[in-house]
Amino acid sequence: MKKRSVVESVVNNETIYQQGISVDCVIIGFHDRRLKVLLSKFNFFHKWMLPVGFIMKDEDMDVAACSVLKNITGLKDIYMYQFHTFGSTIRLNAKEHRTIMAKIGLADTNHWLAQRLVSVGYCALVDYSQVNISASANEKVQWFNINEIPSLYSDHNSIIGKALAMIRTQLDIIPVGYKLLPEKFPLSELRIIYETILEQELDRRNFQRKILSTGYLINLGEYQRKPGQKPTALFAFDKEKCEEALQNII
């Protein structure tokens, strides 16, 4: 049996949730040389949206964000960080919003869920290959290439933009590829991540020199073979150093 959607749960357990706040999650993965974002869509509504969660009254906000991630991907103990809080009153297209609310059985337009929300944006960088997408009965969940995102519900396009902008500023502080890439990977994959985020090409050799000088990477001495190419050296992140770096993020 498929589970109920998050929003339905909230409607039916109104009193245990902190009113008027949601956590909106930008979940980013990397596959086939492309950065991807997880989006969800109700069967009865035409626009895709970011996975959303709500905060229980006795629950830390960070925990609430992580449980969105866990519900949708099965991943736990993943580092998520907050990047911005969206508190404009015009975020919400009232008509769209009520359409959705009505569909999930919320007729009461005075219910807080039918009104203005402040959304805290969280971002997670995850290993695509570890993700098991799980959706509720009346929704779909799917990866989208980050530069091929359709027009989303509410201000979700700009939330994604902000998440990327935030990652961009931290690109030389935190080991961004750490969670995105599998255990072993060639440097070219890491470079593509950087190029996608920065929206510019990077010199292969200079990138390599710079990224290796950070000390976060370990040359495994193993090689990946692809048809028609010279074997490529494989690298791994130094887990200890990366975890430490994640602790020190602001």
Strands (E), the chain: 17-31, 34-42, 52-56, 80-86, 118-125, 139-145, 185-186, 217-224, 232-237
187: partner contacted, choices its own copies, DNA, none (Cβ within 5-8 A by kind) = DNA
Stretch that binds its own copies, among 46-54, 56-64, 148-156, 204-212 (CB under 8 A): 56-64
Q: Considering only residues 34, 47, 70, 112, which one is a binding residue for its own copies as defined by CB under 8 A? A: 112
Contact status: 116 vs its own copies (CB under 8 A) = yes
Beta-ladder partners of 41? 140
Q: Which is nearer to DNA, 41 or 191 (CB)?
A: 191
DSSP codes joined into one string, 33-64: TEEEEEEEEETTSSS-B--EEEEETTS-HHHH
Q: Are 80 and 62 in contact (CB under 8 A)?
A: yes
| Alpha carbons 20 and 113: distance in angstroms, whole number | 7
Measured from the CB of residue 82, what is the shortest distance to DNA in angstroms? 28
Enumerate the β-bridge partners of residue 143: 38
CB of 223 to DNA, least distance (A): 7
203 binds, among its own copies, DNA, none (CB under 5 to 8 A by kind): DNA
Site map for DNA, 172-191, x if CB under 7 A? --------------xxx---
| Distance separating alpha carbons of residues 232 and 217, to the nearest angstrom | 15
> Which residues, numbered 201-240, are part of the site for DNA (CB under 7 A)?
203-206, 208-210, 213, 225, 227-233
Residues found near its own copies in the complex (CB under 8 A): 18-21, 55, 57-62, 64, 82, 84-85, 87-90, 112, 115-116, 118, 120, 162, 165-166, 169, 250
